[in-house]
């Protein structure tokens, strides 16, 4: 598989919201379906991210910030000016007991859905409480960072990466990954467990907002092939992120076979947050452009058969 194909120049004049696209418009040729902005834990404001996408030669991106859709209006306004389509997305972190984490991406969801926004606000509130407790634990051990500074760094949804950046500013870590390894990962002095949302709950949340839920960066999830995927497909999973970041050809092919086996849309992207966070640059992972049409078709079908509403209720 050649990851450095020449995909041509960006298509200019495509509308900002795929829900309003002209069906006769030419399909995008260079896409990235996994990006983050300062609305969650990315380094660039939504409009700046879109500008970078334009300069990179991308036709289309999905903005998939953690637990928030607040960056979409700004991103789509910028996209309308620059000729970069921005489709509405989300990323929700969940727990796979006892196998660690699973992240659920959602595409083409209706961000005006009041139930969705209430659920996302609750998740962001829980993130903030967790971050504040982390800072309290670290300060109790003589580490001089403040919650006020973490909030400033987290312009949108506050999370562990913003605590990590505060640690870097204070000279306690050399990078975000170093901060995680030394202070914020399980077993480390600043770690606080997050609320344990189940993957099926995130899938139902996205389905209730007429979106298409996809399992993000799945390659190393234990039991993926015969245990995890059947359960998530039964819960309503619609896609599998096969073309991800630095996955090699063998890994991509294994995931493509799983997507075909379970009837899932094979999605992909860079997981771009900004420089020096993930190794793959914006647009650095080839994703077949026909994936967008498959996602849009699935979302259109979802709107014709509304899912039951979903309300997140806290446990324990």
Mean pLDDT in consecutive groups of 10 residues from the start of the chain, 316 residues: 28 31 61 96 96 98 97 98 98 86 96 96 92 96 95 82 94 93 94 90 97 97 94 97 96 98 98 91 96 97 90 76
* Boundaries of every domain in the chain: 18-113+199-304, 120-184
**Residue recorded with tokens 């380094």:** 43
Given this structure, which CATH class describes domain 120-184?
A: mainly alpha
The pLDDT of residue 25 is 56
What pTM did the predictor assign?
0.85
The pLDDT of residue 26 is 67
The pLDDT of residue 159 is 83
The pLDDT of residue 195 is 84
* CATH code of the region 18-113+199-304: 3.20.20.140
Are the beta carbons of 127 and 41 closer than 8 angstroms?
A: no
How far is residue 58's CA from residue 39's CA, in Å, rounded to a whole number? 21
The pLDDT of residue 313 is 80
* Segment 15-38, tens digit of pLDDT: 333 333 443 456 678 999 999 999
The pLDDT of residue 29 is 82
The pLDDT of residue 3 is 34
């Amino acid at each position: 598989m050649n990851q450095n194909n020449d995909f041509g120049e960006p298509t200019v004049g495509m509308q900002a919201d795929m829900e309003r696209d002209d069906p006769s418009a030419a399909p995008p040729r260079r896409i990235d379906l996994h990006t983050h902005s300062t609305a969650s834990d990315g380094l660039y404001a939504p409009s700046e991210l879109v500008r970078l996408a334009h300069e990179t030669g991308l036709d289309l991106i999905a903005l998939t910030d953690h637990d928030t859709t607040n960056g979409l209006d700004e991103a789509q306004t910028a996209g309308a000016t620059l000729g970069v389509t921005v489709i509405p997305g989300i990323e929700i972190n969940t727990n796979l007991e006892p196998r660690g984490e699973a992240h659920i991406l959602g595409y083409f969801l209706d961000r005006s859905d009041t139930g969705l926004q209430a659920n996302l606000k609750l998740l962001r509130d829980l993130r903030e409480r967790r971050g504040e407790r982390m800072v309290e634990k670290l300060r109790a051990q003589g580490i001089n960072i403040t919650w006020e500074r973490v909030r400033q760094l987290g312009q949108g949804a506050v999370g562990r990466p913003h605590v990590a950046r505060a640690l870097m500013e204070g000279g306690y870590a050399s990078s975000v990954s170093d901060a995680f390894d030394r202070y914020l990962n399980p077993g480390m002095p600043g770690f606080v467990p997050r609320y344990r949302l189940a993957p099926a709950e995130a899938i139902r949340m996205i389905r209730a907002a007429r979106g298409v839920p996809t399992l993000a960066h799945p390659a190393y999830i234990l039991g993926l092939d015969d245990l995890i995927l059947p359960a998530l497909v039964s819960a309503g999973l619609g896609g599998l992120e096969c073309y991800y970041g630095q996955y090699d050809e063998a890994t991509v092919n294994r995931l493509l076979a799983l997507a075909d086996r379970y009837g899932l849309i094979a999605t992909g992207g860079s997981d771009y947050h900004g420089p020096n966070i993930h190794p793959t640059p914006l647009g650095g992972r080839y994703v077949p452009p026909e994936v967008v049409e498959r996602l849009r078709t699935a979302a259109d079908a979802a709107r014709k058969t509304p899912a039951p509403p979903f309300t997140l209720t806290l446990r324990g």
